[in-house]
Amino acid sequence: MEIDGETRCFGLIGAPVAHSLSPYLHNRTYAELGLNCCYLPFHVEPEHLAAALQGLKALGFGGVNVTMPHKEAVLPYLDQLEEEAARAGSVNTICLRGGRLIGYNTDGRGLVWSLYRETPWRPGGSALILGAGGAARGVAMALAGEGLAELIIMNRTPEKGRRLASLLAAAYKELTVTVLPLDGELLGRLQPGLLVNTLPVDPWDWERGPAISPSTVVCDLRYHPPLNALLAKARRGGSRAVNGLGMLAGQAALSFALFTGCEPPFEIMYRLARAAAGEGSPPQTAGP
């Protein structure tokens, strides 16, 4: 599709953004669906965030995705916050409607989409989340919204874990939430139905570290490299273990739908994300 006077503009703001797959996923999907839209990456330093958001209004952008380090910093500049984003305290999607900035968070539902698509996980049991940062908050809220019975949060800074636990307890009365220190030995003694790693680094050597039960479904939000030490260990032990590419595709498809008004193009973006990461064609069905 040629860019012309009717092209609708979308993009990504963050620092850095050069590594992001989002421009590729969105632009390729516009092309496949024949939409006259374009999506650009913008490296925005924190001191320019307010001006960048004003600029999007002035230029008539349709919306932007938001990545680190701005997911929480954009909150004071928004005219409206959708419930999921308010609960997570973090925004990954801003739509501009009638000159107003409306904040959403599609990360958590993106993760849930990936679990249904790629794994045998179904709600109702227990989950353990490593981390309590922005991604963990969105994921925890979305899992709780799916009807999770029990959630364990392990975080380096216990205070942040406790803050997330009280947000969850206030929003989901039926959910049992426990906060534990980030401790490999402790982890090895637990057998959650789902283990979600939201830590950007490995907290211990997974090779020699805690055992993972084969009945635990494992999801690591990272996807560089596609098969990291945690996922390799979990798979060797018989677990279904997936990286963050499915979540990336899921959250992108949900943002795409908010931007364009189309149905979320989950399968297109999943195929594109996997191909870009060298993972080949998506599996046809979920399962170990």
Interface positions with ligand NAP (CB under 6 A):
68, 107, 110, 131-136, 155-157, 160, 182, 198-201, 203, 221-223, 244, 247-248, 251
Short-list 81, 133, 35, 43, CA closest to 93 = 81
Q: Which pairing describes strands 100-104 and 93-97: parallel, antiparallel, or unpaired?
A: antiparallel
CB of 276 to ligand NAP, least distance (A): 13
Nearer to ligand NAP, 8 or 163 (CB): 163
Tell me whether residue 63 or residue 246 sits nearer to ligand NAP (CB atom).
Answer: 246
Of 173 and 208, the one with the shorter C-beta distance to ligand NAP is 208
Q: Min. distance of Cβ 157 from ligand NAP in angstroms?
A: 3
Retrieve residue 175's tokens.
């959910």
CA–CA separation, 209 vs 197, rounded Å? 15
- The rounded distance, in Å, linking the Cα atoms of 225 and 252 is 20
What are 165-173's contacts with CB under 8 Å, separation 24+?
167/87, 167/89, 167/137, 167/141, 168/140, 168/141, 168/144, 171/87, 171/141, 171/144, 172/144, 172/145
Q: How far is the CB of 127 from ligand NAP (least distance, A)?
A: 16
Q: Which two tokens stand for residue 278?
A: 């060298």
Residue 87 vs 222, nearer CB to ligand NAP: 222
CB of 258 vs ligand NAP, minimal distance in Å: 16
Query: What is the Cα–Cα distance from 64 to 77, expressed in whole angstroms?
Result: 14
Catalytic residue ranges: 71
Residue 196 in tokens: 């979600």
CB of 2 to ligand NAP, least distance (A): 31
d(CA 284, CA 287): 10
In 3D, which of 115, 135, 131, 114 has the Cα closest to residue 123?
A: 115
3-state SS, residue 248: helix
Peptide bond into 181 cis (omega under 30): no
- Closest contact distance (angstroms) between CB of 88 and ligand NAP is 10
Cβ proximity to ligand NAP, 191 vs 228, nearer residue: 228
Nearer to ligand NAP, 51 or 253 (CB): 253
Distance CA 151, CA 177 (A): 5
